[in-house]
Amino acid sequence: MDYQAVLAEVWDAVRPVLGQGRVATYIPALAAVDPRRFGMALATVEGDVYGIGDWREPFSIQSISKVFTLALALSRDGDALWRRVGKEPSGNPFNSLVQLEYEQGIPRNPFINAGALVITDRLQRLTGDSRGTLRDFLRAESGNPLVDFDPVIAASEAEHGHRNRALAHFMASYGNMESAVPEVLEHYFWQCSLAMSCADLAKACGFLARHGQRADGSRLLTRSQAKQVNAVMLTCGTYDAAGEFAYRVGLPGKSGVGGGIIAVIPNRCGLCVWSPGLDARGNSVAGVEALDRFTTLTGLSIF
Ligand code: DON
């Protein structure tokens, strides 16, 4: 398949929606980005990379980090991890507090903020350095040693992180935090601040297209665990819009409020699209449109 030609066609098709949606403003440093930016990259399991637009431009990965922290924690903890976090769609916004009380401090899934805080807590206990473990993994998988945190974004999020603090303390009150809450939040904020390009992220999610095998041929996840992570991405990766995303795109995907979305086509490639204008549920408007066009044009969905 001529991926470069397909991507060019996708780019043409999304032009009318570029600039639609609103950039995230609840983390003030994210609000400075031009909503008309657009990039998309595809990295095959064989190692070829294709891209269009701003595909080499680093952006704030935000919640896309949650896929990688889940994989890193699951690889070390195995099924024990699921005692502290569920694997059901929440049907609620990513930063919602309501379910946590009547579900006794166990978050619905690892991709809503509460679930990602639990995963960060676990990864911190398992490695002693959650954010460093994540950064090193992403450098290795993307092949880009320059992948790094953005201290301005991390500071902005810490300053305005009242909701995440509330979530973490609430879970601590149910005994679902092992480390001190400020330590967990610090790692979480830095993880979300990582800056990566579409090319970096398309390569970095390759292990999920290779059934758990890393870029160097070693194994992070068992085949079964890679299936589990992909399945949770499909059902929970775009929060209360996961049904719509599965309907339109038909791939496991994970969004972030920086405007990025990664998606996985098992056995074939990792994809990443970036455009900062978000819909009401925090997913990139042009990003979802581009992935919808891509699977429609190519027939490459998992269904
Ligand atoms: O914790 C937060 O609210 C952000 N750092 C990440 C949220 C996010 O990316 C949700 N995704 N669409």
Determine if ligand 1 sits within 6 Å of the CB of residue 130.
Answer: no
- 104 — phi, psi (to 5°)? 50, 40
Query: Residue 228, SS3?
Result: helix
For the entire predicted model, the pTM comes to 0.98
Residue 229 belongs to a domain: yes
Q: Is residue 165 part of a domain?
A: yes
Q: What is the pLDDT of residues 192-210, one digit of tens each?
A: 999 999 999 999 999 999 9
Label residue 26 by pLDDT band (50, 70, 90). confident
Binding residues for substrate: 63, 113, 157, 164, 188, 239, 257
Bridge-based pairing of strands 59-60 and 269-274 is unpaired
Q: List strand residue ranges (DSSP E) for 186-251, in order.
A: 195-196
CA torsion angle 91 108 100 124 (round to 10): -130
Ligand 1: centre distance to CA 113 (Å): 7
- Residue 161 CA, ligand 1 centroid: distance in Å: 11
Instruction: Name the residue of 69, 94, 159, 274 whose CB sits within 8 Å of the most ligand 1 atoms, as the mutation to test its pocket.
Output: 94
* Residue ranges at the known binding site: 63, 113, 157, 164, 188, 239, 257
Burial of residue 95 (number of CB atoms within 10 Å: 0-12, 13-18, 19+):
middle
Residues in the chain: 303
Tens digits of per-residue pLDDT, 212-254?
999 999 999 999 999 999 999 999 999 999 999 999 999 999 9
* Domain assignment present for 257: yes
What residues are labeled active site? 63, 66, 188, 239, 257
d(CA 87, CA 111): 9
> Rounded to an integer, what is the distance from CA 283 to the centroid of its chain?
11
Whose CA is closest to 261, among 280, 250, 274?
Answer: 274
Protein residue with least CA distance to atom 4, ligand 1: 62
Distance 57 CA to ligand 1 centre (A): 20
Dihedral Cα 189, 285, 25, 114, nearest 10 deg: -40
State the total domains in the chain.
1
Tell me if 156 is assigned to some domain: yes
CATH number for the domain spanning 251: value is: 3.40.710.10
290-302 per-position pLDDT tens digit: 999 999 999 999 9
Domain extent, residue 153, equals 3-298
How remote is the CA of residue 63 from the centroid of ligand 1, in Å?
5
Inside any domain, residue 303: no
* Closest residue to atom 7 of ligand 1, CA basis: 63
**Residue 62 within a domain:** yes
